[in-house]
Structure formats: C-alpha cells, structure tokens
A and B are shown apart, each in its own frame.
Chain A
C-alpha cells in the first residue's frame, strides 16, 4: 500500500511553534507544513475533531502563520497597504478587521490575509498572512512602503484559533470582553497576565476567535482554554476539512498568482471606493474581467457516490469537453459525503450543472453546487 497523495516531504530543519510540547502531550501526529512541525491530528482523528468544532469548541494552533505590525503616523499604514491590495483599508474603523488580497500586476493573487486596524487612530495595522507566503509577503510589502512606515514581523507571538458554537462561552470565562466582540471586531486585552490581541473571526465557518498571544505565555493560555469541558484540540487536518465545508479558499490550492479575485469569486473584497479609482495592482485586468466576464469561475462540486475527488482531478463537461479542474477536494465530516471546489468554464458555473470528474480513469458524475457546503454560523 503506497500513499499517493499525502504528506509533504520533510525538509531538512523544521521550526516548532510555542505549543509544540502541548501538541506532543496530547498525542498529536506531527507533520511538516510550510517549514513547521505542525499537528495534523490528535488521537480522536480528523472526523471527530471536525465534529468537535461544529458541535462544541476546538482549539487550533496556527502559530505558523505570519503576523506583522504596519506602523506609522495615523492613517499612513492604511494608505500604504492600499497600494498592494484591492480592499478598502482606509475605511477600516478602529478595532475592526477585514479579509483582503495581495495582488500582482496581472491581477493574480499573491496571498490572502487579514488586516486589522489595531489602534484608535489608524497608526497601526495588524496583518496575518499565510505561513507558506510570509517571507515573500513581508519582503513584498516592505519594498513597497514609503519612508516612515515600518513593517515589524511578530516572531515572538503564537496564534491560536478557538472555533465552534461554544467558543464564546469558553473564552468568555477567561476574557469577558472578548466574548462581547462583534464579528470581525478586534481588541487588545490583558488576560491572565498575557497581552493578547483577539479578533472574532476564523477559518471554519463557525463563530470563534483568533488570538495572538506572546510566545512565552502561549502554552499556559492554551492549557487554560483546554481545561474547559467543551474544548478539545484540533489539528490542521480538521482545519482543512472545516474550511472546505465552509467554502473558504486555501492559498496555493484554490487561489494563487494565476487566479484573480473575479475568477475566485472574491470580487466582494474589492472596496467600493477602490472600484471607482481602480488604483490597485492588476486593476486593468480585473476591470476587464468584471466588464466581460472571466473565462472560468470557482465553484462548489458535489460528486455522486462516496469517492472523493482530490485536488488536480480533471473536470469534463457533460459533452466530454474539458471543463477545468478540482483545486480542493475531500470528504466532508459534517455531510459524510465527498465535496470539492474547483474552477470550471464560465458556461458551466451555474448551480445544478452536471459535470464529470475524472478519477482513476473513470468519469464520476458530479454537480456544480452553491457554497458554503455547511452554512456559516458567524455571530450576526
């Protein structure tokens, strides 16, 4: 038996997160991911950890992700960042955050990231970027900054995600102010002696929080959260299954430098003012796609039967012509059925369209379906 799709080749030297000992104490299976040794699952396994998050609350270590401050005079960081992203960053109110995209000149996506206005006066933005892209992102951002604005990577902070319907109840016992946050709100709090930055956000489709904690206090903070009877640790395997159920993109799979926000269904990230001024990278190409329609679009796919269709599976139209390919695919723990997302020709991107997935030399029938596969339950 040979695994044909699975774990990355281990690089020579892996970095560890501040929660490394805690993972091992919880019988995590550690795998290399983006240069870090990360827990892919714990003893209960991906299915049980996914259900834990959907039904109660789960703690994820996402400390491999890149965190950085962008600091300058009030207002300056937002104006500087807008040269690289299509989002309305200057319109971000104090202590609010927004999902945005670093774009290249062709309108391709260099990375997706969260930007928080973590100040009362707009002097400080907190950026959270993908682990696999952080060095490239930080170099790119730093190179584009005018004098007087500093990018300061936060190497000494862990990032924890607490997700699930019971997440607010659990975190609220330690940090009542955090439980009072609205969706996509941010706060800087001192909890149990730790200076944390917490946002009401996540990557699972559930209500929850992402919490930046100083590395030295991260293990004790995580251990306190895990004392709650509603809470259990969940690994990157569950995180990937949950985000796919929520229809959320994974950078490197579903979006990359060759996909645009229009193709990816992320047009909503382009701010209204930005769409008037067209002053972001790739604006010409993106405007053309908005006016004339892109050639392909990201869609949800529901294979018939039980066989999962993995990333890179070719998609054919009902008439046998080439339709596109799957970019993320697997088994949904919540639906107990295979789900996938991918790109198809625009004429096939309508919900209900029948397509064929070419899995191991056979054509498996599938339908184009709306996403998310599992309804979002963010705090409204």
Chain B
C-alpha cells in the first residue's frame, strides 16, 4: 500500500506513482466530529494552494473545513460520500476519501507528517 502522510488539520494523503494524491480525513477526525451528515466537495479542475479550504464536512453538531494538504489540481471527487456522508465515519481511511489532487510538487508530500509524527501529534492534543 502507498505511503500515507498526515497533516495537523487531520487530513490523510496517499500519493500514487502517477503523482496523484488521494485526500481524506483521519480516523481521529471522524471520531471527533461524530455522525457526519453533510459533505461538500470542490469542483474538478479547481487549482488549490497548499492550506486552501476546499471541502466542508458537517456532523449533527458541527461544521468543519477540509484543506488542501498540498498544492495541486482536483482531478476527482468522491461523490459516494456526498450521497452517503456516514461512509466517512465507517471508512474514513479508504472508501471515505474526499478528493484526488494532481500534485504540483511531489516533494511537498514528503514534508507532511508520517504516521509516527501524526500519532505523536495526537498525543499532544
């Protein structure tokens, strides 16, 4: 399986060999949100800066932004989680992915947190 990286905003990122990154929210994020009832995704072809708010996830209680972990162009979005937002709760780390980015600079991926660093970060919260 491809290497998974993380952000302090609780997104996960997986980079495939073609330079396309799949982005979702972490297990910790879906647990903290609780029952997810609404997801809004960016439009395909949208160019994103690193850290740009580009999706929204809402639970019964709260609304949160999802940010682009690295700069790039949206090449696909997961309509399944729009139809069935609860999929993000059940499968946050795979089937519940949010969008795919054609990454501008693959080195930016390497600069994200690895699993150990993210786990250590969670312990500081």
Contact = CB atoms under 8 A, between A and B. Distances in A.
Nearest to B56: A360
B61 A330 contact: yes
A1 interface: yes
Given A45-B34, A307-B38, A1 B66 contact: yes
Contacts of A45: 34-35
Interface string B43-81: 000000000000011111111111100000000000000
B102 interface: no
What does DSSP make chain B's interface, helix, strand, loop or mixed?
Answer: strand
A309 to B, nearest CB: 10
Contact of A1 (B34, B40, B65): B65
B38 A2 contact: no
A306 interface: yes
Q: How large is the interface on B (under 10, 10 to 19, 20 to 34, 35 or more residues)?
A: 20 to 34
Contacts of B11: 1
Given A1-B11, A2-B9, A41 B34 contact: yes
Interface in A27-72: 29, 40-41, 45-48
A310 interface: yes
A3 B64 CA distance: 4
B52 to A, nearest CB: 13
B37 interface: yes
A4 B57 CA distance: 11
Q: In the complex, which range does the number of interface residues on chain A fall in?
A: 20 to 34
A4 B9 CA distance: 12
10 contacts: A1-B9, A4-B64, A5-B61, A5-B62, A46-B60, A241-B60, A306-B85, A308-B63, A310-B63, A330-B61
Given A40-B61, A306-B37, A338-B38, 18 more contacts: A1-B11, A1-B64, A1-B65, A2-B64, A6-B64, A41-B34, A45-B35, A46-B60, A47-B60, A48-B35, A306-B38, A306-B85, A308-B38, A308-B58, A310-B63, A330-B60, A331-B38, A331-B60
Lowest 9 A-B CB distances belong to which pairs? Answer: A6-B62, A331-B37, A46-B60, A47-B35, A1-B10, A1-B9, A45-B35, A3-B64, A5-B63
Interface of A: 1-7, 29, 40-41, 45-48, 237, 240-241, 306-308, 310, 330-331, 333, 338, 360
